[in-house]
Amino acid sequence: MDMMKKAYSARYFEILEKRKNLPVWVHKEEFLQTLKENQIVLLVGETGSGKTTQIPQFVLEAVLNENPSSGPKGKKWLVGCTQPRRVAAMSVSRRVAEEMDVEIGEEVGYTVRFEDCSSSKTVLKYLTDGMLLREAMADPLLGRYKVIVLDEAHERTLATDLLLGLLKQTLISRPDLKLVVMSATLEADKFHKYFIGVPLIKVPGRLHPVEILYTREPERDYLEAAISTVIQIHMSEPPGDVLVFLTGEEEIEDACRKIVSKLGDQVKVVPLYSTLPPAMQQKIFDPTPQTVRKIIVSTNIAETSLTIDGIVYVVDPGFSKQKLYHPDTRVESLLVSPISQASADQRAGRAGRTQPGKCFRLYTQKSFNELEKQSYAEILRSNLANTVLTLKRLGVKNLFPLDPQMAKMLIVSPQFNCSNEILSISAMLSVPNCFIRPRGEAQKAADEAKSSFAHIDGDHLTLLNVFHAFLQNNQDSDWCYEKFINYRAMKSAVSVREQLVRIMSRFQIKLCSPGFNSRDYYVNIRKALLAGYFMQVAHLERTGHYLTFRDKDDQVVHLHPSNCLDHKPEWVVYNEYVFTSRNFIRTVTHIRGEWLVDVAPHYYKLANFPNSEAKRVLQKHYKKRKLSEERSCKLYLLR
Ligand SMILES: Nc1ncnc2c1ncn2[C@@H]1O[C@H](COP(=O)(O)OP(=O)(O)OP(=O)(O)O)[C@@H](O)[C@H]1O
């Protein structure tokens, strides 16, 4: 490679000496040997260990040594390294180009949405995870790549998660393609489980220490607290630039104005958020005169992979805007929420990169300990409509044609020995309402007909009764007419059910029934329902209305008048949330609070829920369960 043979500049050797001190260099030989012997390698390293800048260069060195001739169609082989954020992809590639003593866009380049800074010469390309997905749509085998490095995999962005799934398949068809998955420490176990038997290399340590400081008391207004911390740092700390994390554009612009009005031209204040034009974003890297302190006020786009030379202080109020999806209303929103411990560590890691640093956390150590270890993966917080379209474009054919809740209910139904019944209920839930309710005189007759199918425990079981009755009456249209049942809806339910049966058999999911006379016949069905729809539960409050019981977001709701229940049960699972004159929940079934504890303890973690009657009831169930577990443990020991 001519790039390797050329005479390097003095700057190259100066940087090389610094690079060699980075913790990953100690593991260079081990890493390259492992990569040689394996198709997939996991690398876990602390922030600042040198993963993002060094590993792709190690990989490139190996690729060039092993493949002296060019790649497909005479083009050069590529090493690709993904980044969840475009600012990082751009700035890291620039740094790497500098480290390799080449012009950006030539041997080292980057591709982000609306900007491709790479050429036919490019052999190492940094790109956003979204861009690699797009490339995979055009070329599912990613033919030009020899090695793909997925960086910051612990962030679990939607695109990286999809790539993890896609690449697992691609690697089978392309035995010569290799994959390196890099992550910060926390999620390592999950990746290890996902890629069974794959070697894991751990890189501890960072170049410079970062001192972490907490507040003694919680702050009432994090914005004001952030601004006054910046001013305090400026007044009392030695020279060094500051990076402040806030949640959005408006807040950032507001903070910038306030800091300037207090400190004037003793400081240079620079905002950073995703909607800022790229040229303005680059301003964070502009050097300032030694006497002027730079203060960068940013969203969490500066949280990972960025090295901004000169940053000594990080101010972290502990919040960010996070995407949240409400499946009931099908609305995706951005909500200011507490960050996770992993994010807090990444933020602190922005200091101490080129010299020792300090991180001011504007919350107590206790609050830090109570934060989630890791944010929920984006795929769990997103509207999946787009994702499904992306998968289709990627050529994935066997998508499961169901809501995740329904799919889960079907998959677990054999555990409750009732997959036949759950199949029928799923089919009924997938077609239009089967009950016809004409206006005028016939309405009473229609209601009476409906009540003949009613099950006291709820609407799902009522739907099951209708389905069974339709089959017993040989799918007869006259019978439907007489019973005010929508014949076409019933015929579609039968065909949906047949389709679902085929899918179940393809996945080898057992078809079984509890036997109609079994004492637990309905209980099992209700439990299986809950196992799928555990996020759609409401609790009857003493005031007489229901409150949806969900993480951070309760809503007052009412049972839809169409329900078949003969009483108001304490807990219900529901299928739909409808806004009309009031907030209604429709298609509801009676469940028991203690089942929540059995069926979805991972979701019903009490710490996540606001104080409410429902929470107290659930607390009791947890206590009871603990006691009974202790008792059976004692009995076992006594035996
Ligand atoms: N633009 C730069 N200017 C000066 N030093 C840099 C620059 N980029 C990287 N470095 C040096 O290289 C170190 C490692 O950076 P790198 O981005 O590879 O770390 P990392 O382990 O991937 O961290 P993270 O997990 O936070 O992305 C930095 O801490 C810093 O010392």
Q: Whose CA is nearest to atom 29 of ligand 1?
A: 353
How far apart, in whole angstroms, are the C-alpha atoms of residue 61 and residue 84?
Answer: 24
Residue 446's pLDDT band (boundaries 50, 70, 90)? very high
Among candidate residues 275, 233, 236, the one with its CA nearest the CA of residue 252: 275
> What is the number of the ligand 1 atom nearest to the C-alpha of 19?
12
What pLDDT score was predicted for residue 3?
52
Residue 178's pLDDT band (boundaries 50, 70, 90)? very high
Q: How far, in Å, is the centroid of ligand 1 from the Cα of 431?
A: 55
Q: How far, in Å, is the centroid of ligand 1 from the Cα of 110?
A: 17
Return the percentage of the chain with pLDDT > 90, whole number. Answer: 61
Distant-in-sequence, close-in-space partners of 448: CB < 8 Å, separation ≥ 6: none
Q: How far, in Å, is the centroid of ligand 1 from the Cα of 56?
A: 13
What pLDDT score was predicted for residue 310?
92
Q: How far, in Å, is the centroid of ligand 1 from the Cα of 338?
A: 26
What pLDDT score was predicted for residue 621?
81
What pLDDT score was predicted for residue 633?
66
Residue 240, amino acid: G
Lowest mean pLDDT among 72-81, 255-264, 423-432, 625-634: 625-634
> What is the number of the ligand 1 atom nearest to the C-alpha of 94?
1
How far apart, in whole angstroms, are the C-alpha atoms of residue 455 and residue 428?
Answer: 15
Q: Whose CA is nearest to atom 12 of ligand 1?
A: 50
User: What are the pLDDT digits (tens) for 541-577?
Assistant: 888 899 887 665 678 899 998 899 989 999 999 998 8
Return the percentage of the chain with pLDDT > 70, whole number. Answer: 94
Residue 294's pLDDT band (boundaries 50, 70, 90)? very high
Mean pLDDT of 262-288: 90
- DSSP per residue over 95-134, as a string? HHHHHHT--BTTTEEEEETTEEE--TT--EEEEEHHHHHH
Q: Whose CA is nearest to atom 16 of ligand 1?
A: 50
Taking every pair of Cα atoms in the chain, the longest distance, rounded to a whole number of angstroms, is: 95
Q: How far, in Å, is the centroid of ligand 1 from the Cα of 151?
A: 13
H-helix or E-strand spanning residue 576: strand 571-579
What pLDDT score was predicted for residue 1?
43
Among candidate residues 35, 87, 86, the one with its CA nearest the CA of residue 61: 35
Token digits for 308? Answer: 């901004």
What pLDDT score was predicted for residue 327?
63
| pLDDT exceeds 60 at position 12 | yes
> What is the number of the ligand 1 atom nearest to the C-alpha of 349?
26
The count of other CB atoms within 10 Å of the CB of residue 389 is 10
Q: Whose CA is nearest to atom 8 of ligand 1?
A: 307
Token digits for 84? Answer: 């969840």
Q: How far, in Å, is the centroid of ligand 1 from the Cα of 89?
A: 12
Mean pLDDT of 477-498: 94
Q: Could you tell me if 480 and 450 are in contact, meaning their C-beta atoms sit under 8 angstroms apart? A: no
More confident residue, 578 or 560: 560
> What is the number of the ligand 1 atom nearest to the C-alpha of 54?
18
Residue 18's pLDDT band (boundaries 50, 70, 90)? very high
| pLDDT exceeds 80 at position 437 | yes
Q: How far, in Å, is the centroid of ligand 1 from the Cα of 312?
A: 14
What pLDDT score was predicted for residue 83?
96
> Cα dist. 59→38, 49, 83, 414, 431 in Å?
13, 16, 16, 47, 53
Q: Is the pTM of this model over 0.90?
A: no
What pLDDT score was predicted for residue 126?
98
User: What are the pLDDT digits (tens) for 316-348?
Assistant: 999 999 887 766 565 667 788 899 998 999 999
Residue 381's pLDDT band (boundaries 50, 70, 90)? confident
Token digits for 500? Answer: 């679902």
Residue 135, amino acid: E
Among candidate residues 435, 437, 433, the one with its CA nearest the CA of residue 445: 437
Mean pLDDT of 207-216: 93
Among candidate residues 605, 553, 503, 590, the one with its CA nearest the CA of residue 327: 553
Residue 216, amino acid: R
Buried b / exposed e along 61-70 (16+ C-beta atoms within 10 A): ebbbeeeeee
Residue 2's pLDDT band (boundaries 50, 70, 90)? very low
Highest mean pLDDT among 117-121, 195-199, 381-385, 580-584: 117-121
Among candidate residues 448, 413, 443, 445, the one with its CA nearest the CA of residue 427: 413
Residue keyed to tokens 């949240």: 324
More confident residue, 483 or 115: 483
Lowest mean pLDDT among 294-298, 352-356, 443-447: 352-356
Mean pLDDT of 468-473: 97
List all residues whose CB is within 6 A of at least one atom of ligand 1.
Answer: 22, 45, 47-54, 95, 184, 207, 304-305, 307, 309, 349, 353-354
Contacts of the segment 341-345: beta carbons below 8 A, 24+ positions apart? 341/186, 341/368, 341/371, 341/372, 341/373, 341/374, 342/154, 342/184, 342/186, 342/187, 342/373, 342/374, 342/375, 343/300, 343/303, 343/375, 344/316, 344/318, 344/368, 344/371, 345/47, 345/184
Q: Whose CA is nearest to atom 14 of ligand 1?
A: 50
What pLDDT score was predicted for residue 459?
97
User: What are the pLDDT digits (tens) for 25-81?
Assistant: 999 999 999 999 999 999 998 888 999 999 999 999 999 988 877 777 777 899 999
Mean pLDDT of 340-364: 93
Q: What are the phi and psi torsion angles at 45 (to 5°)?
A: -145, 150
| pLDDT exceeds 60 at position 122 | yes
Residue-averaged pLDDT of the chain: 89
Q: Whose CA is nearest to atom 2 of ligand 1?
A: 307
